[in-house]
Structure 1
């Protein structure tokens, strides 16, 4: 089939990599032409395929990989091969990861828990040159852009950091101040532990504190609850 979308999978976890290959090769019009288990091999494999006039149409790139992470590999590929279409596929939705991936030149950003249908749709969009960021990640990105914009204002025009906290973050901050662990907070609020971890990271960022203890102390001092 001449219109097949060729794909290079870059993922350090063997089971995940094999699972992706199986899913993709069952999809009409898609073909996996290579695999890499770390960022360094991803770059080398892409170059080798390109030299054979078989450069992949899409690169699925994990972020957390040994030897060279996904952002570094994306940067290296885009610098030498600007035409590379890279989709970040990861378990992390932290804002810094998203910012770094976009700045590196990635055209797509998806979490690994997406349905196969959404992965296929994203591959097709990016293949046509259309960037795509998963909506729930895009929402966080917009919030972070707003936070950064506010922090860049003159001091006299800034709102206080705690005004940026959402009701849910205030709720989690209160439990932090009580000494609750992420697991306990997750159980109390019926949330995934990873979600709590993300909220805690956002709270520390918004309050401009380095750790949970400082955040709790600041919250008590400013009587946030």
Structure 2
């Protein structure tokens, strides 16, 4: 466990807990934030578990934190798990993620866990302060690069199973169960030609070349479970 930073500042300052497993990063953030108007660094923590201990200690001392600045990859308890734990124990605290990783999967995981912001570590220091102030107001602040990626994901054509219609997903499941076009047609009360057309569309949308590949995609994506599948028809 690390020590606290500065003593309590002026009333009305946003109390911040800085959480990162790298001491140099913690100290650098704390030094900058201490010079930012309206922000007071109350303590530092080395990982998620330490963050929970520090938050509880600050509450006991009568100076609870309002915002936690949280890294993602840390030992003992990672940032995503820590976000959920912090919000469960301290519902009024806001968490802003500050990390080197901008993959959309991590962003989604953090936001779904309840993060009020997501910044990359190359963000301008003023933006870090702005994200803390936004979180304290109950707003969500995203790094411009991350926001751009999310926007492109939203406006780009769907891929994978999301590109399939409900009927095509149903037919893909039947393909994964080893049914031929004739069997699919009988199962869905459609013509064999229609079934063949649907299968062709599925392969094209998924950018696959065989029914076996389609079956593997269906299993991997959880559309069917492995025990339900067997050798596919040709």
- TM class, shorter-length: 0.5 to 0.7
Structure 2: stretches of 5+ with no match in the other structure: 1-9, 169-197, 208-216, 221-234
> Cα RMSD over matched residues?
2.5
Is residue 160 of structure 1 aligned with residue 205 of structure 2? Answer: yes
Given the alignment of the two structures, is residue 94 of structure 1 paired with residue 139 of structure 2, yes or no?
no
State the match for 1:75 in structure 2.
84
Between the aligned partners of 2:156 and 2:62, the Cα distance in structure 1 is 45
Superposed CA deviations along residues 8-44 of structure 1, whole A, max 9, x for unmatched, are 0000001011000110111122111011011111112
Which is higher, the Rg of structure 1 or of structure 2?
2
Give, in whole Å, the separation in 1 of the partners of 2:61 and 2:122.
34
| Higher normalized helix content (fraction of residues) | 1
Pairwise CA distance, 1:107? 0.3
How far, CA to CA, are the matches of 1:148 and 1:16 in structure 2? 39
Structure 2 residue corresponding to 1:46, chosen from 36, 45, 55: 55
TM-score (norm 2): 0.64
Q: Is the 8 Å Cα contact of residues 66 and 92 (structure 2) preserved in structure 1?
A: no
Unaligned runs of 5+ in 1: 163-206, 211-225
Q: Aligned pair in 2 of structure 1 residues 43, 145: CA closer, same or farther (>3 Å)?
A: farther
CA distance in 2, matches of 1:138, 1:29: 26
Q: 1:4/1:161 Cα in 2 relative to 1: closer, same or farther (>3 Å)?
A: same
Deviations 1:112-137 (A, max 9, x none): 10111111111111111111111220
Shift of 1:139: 2.2
Q: Output the TM-score relative to the length of structure 1.
A: 0.66
DSSP 3-state at the match of 1:22: helix
Match of 1:117 in 2: 126
* Rounded Cα–Cα distance in structure 1 between residues aligned with 2:105 and 2:158: 15
Aligned residues: 165
